């Protein structure tokens, strides 16, 4: 793997116009997925041609450039990152930054379908904590939400990950009329195995088959409902992401709330996202972006890449403008979540 960034460790940290240090990079390694979740993708998706997608070597070089500028945490996402051919090559290469101390955490968000195969390898690469997306514990409903998913296979993957010593956070998108009455059961299930549960409001990204106004469930309402049955204690726990956590007194476990619509989390944003094509999005909820693929491919030197990153971070906005458009049912942002990375 390319290590051209190794000599630029003394470069200045990335600070945006509002004084926020950029220390967290989320990288989509593929737009492809073996599920077709109804809130994320259309069923008949057209995926990118291979030539447009960064190679594993280019992804390593890009990630390493950010590490050289002060990024301490990298999360690999997709689509489904573990369906990318030879993806463990990238994990193994990036693990050198963990060994050197330049990076604190390398992690992944996955749908769990490939975890039985890769859990041990992830742990061996220095991954300590992963996020697994599970929106329901009902196998029939799971199939309906994911279209192509098998809950039994995902649960087997989670068991393999726990056996390998990985800490797990379950991500569940709160969907009105779909899983709102299952949240109590998901709390019991996750906390019984020492897993955190994070609830996420559906985000208006990309055209899908259906109307998001029917799906939208405000987490302020969910939390109020939970407080009728559980004792929720505010805590200072953070993972570097946008979730606000509470502890459930009855279980001892944690619940996180990610609320891009009812209460945005922009004031402390330390994150940027890079797509599998090398497009840098300074904000998930804005269309403004920068092309990092061109400087990656036009020069063996990392100088043009760093210049492009600097210029982009200088345009990072203060916050996003997510809304659910109830009149036209249009997404706030046209690209799909699977393109940007979760």
**Binding-site residue set for S-adenosyl-L-methionine:** 39, 79, 133, 203
Q: Under 8 Å CB-to-CB from 70, ≥6 apart: which residues?
A: 13, 14, 21, 22, 23
Q: Under 8 Å CB-to-CB from 115, ≥6 apart: which residues?
A: 82, 130, 132, 154, 156, 157, 158, 160, 161
Task: Report the alpha-carbon distance of residue 256 to residue 238 in Å, rounded.
Answer: 9
Binding residues: 26, 33, 37, 39-40, 75, 79, 109, 133, 169, 203, 266, 269, 271-273, 283
Q: Do 131 and 82 form a contact (C-beta atoms < 8 A)? A: no
Give the N- to C-terminal CA distance of the chain in Å, as an integer.
25
Task: Report the alpha-carbon distance of residue 66 to residue 95 in Å, rounded.
Answer: 14
Q: What is residue 278's DSSP assignment?
A: S
The phi, psi pair for 84, rounded to 5°, reads: -70, 130
Binding residues for [4Fe-4S] cluster: 33, 37, 40, 266, 269, 283
Looking at the chain, list the stretches that DSSP marks H as alpha helix, in order from N- to C-terminal side.
Answer: 56-68, 87-100, 115-124, 139-146, 151-163, 183-192, 212-215, 219-226, 293-298, 303-313, 337-340
Bridge partners of 73, per DSSP, are 24, 105
Of the candidates 274, 309, 314, the residue with the CA atom closest to the CA atom of residue 74: 274
Binding residues for GTP: 26, 75, 109, 169, 271-273
């Amino acid at each position: 793997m390319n290590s051209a960034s190794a000599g630029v460790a003394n470069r200045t940290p990335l600070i945006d116009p509002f004084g926020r240090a950029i220390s967290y990079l989320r990288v989509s390694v593929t737009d492809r997925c073996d599920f077709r979740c109804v809130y994320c993708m259309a069923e008949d998706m057209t995926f990118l041609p291979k030539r447009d997608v960064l190679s594993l070597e280019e992804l390593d070089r890009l990630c390493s450039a950010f590490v050289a500028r002060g990024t301490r945490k990298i999360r690999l996402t997709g689509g489904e990152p573990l369906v990318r051919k030879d993806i463990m090559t990238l994990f193994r290469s990036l693990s050198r930054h963990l060994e050197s101390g330049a990076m604190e955490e390398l992690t992944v968000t996955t749908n769990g379908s490939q975890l039985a195969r890769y859990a041990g390898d992830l742990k061996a690469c220095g991954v300590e904590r992963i996020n697994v997306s599970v929106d329901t514990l009902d196998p029939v409903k799971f199939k309906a939400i994911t279209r192509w998913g098998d809950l039994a296979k995902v649960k087997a993957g989670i068991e393999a990950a726990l056996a390998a010593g990985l800490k797990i956070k379950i991500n569940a998108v709160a969907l009105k009329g779909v899983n709102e009455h299952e949240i109590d059961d998901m709390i019991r299930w996750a906390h019984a195995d020492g897993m955190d549960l994070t609830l996420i409001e559906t985000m208006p990204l990309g055209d899908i088959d259906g109307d998001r106004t029917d799906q939208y469930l405000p987490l302020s309402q969910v939390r109020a409902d939970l407080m009728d049955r559980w004792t929720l204690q505010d805590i200072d726990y953070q993972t570097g992401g946008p979730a606000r956590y509470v502890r459930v007194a009855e279980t001892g476990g944690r619940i996180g709330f990610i609320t891009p619509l009812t209460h945005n989390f922009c004031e402390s944003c330390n994150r940027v996202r890079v797509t599998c094509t090398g497009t840098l999005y300074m904000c998930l909820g804005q269309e403004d972006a920068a092309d990092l693929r061109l400087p990656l491919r036009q020069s063996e030197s990392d100088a043009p890449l760093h210049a492009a990153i600097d210029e982009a971070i200088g345009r990072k906005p203060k916050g996003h403008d997510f809304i659910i458009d109830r009149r036209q049912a249009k997404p706030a942002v046209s690209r799909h979540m699977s393109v940007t990375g979760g």
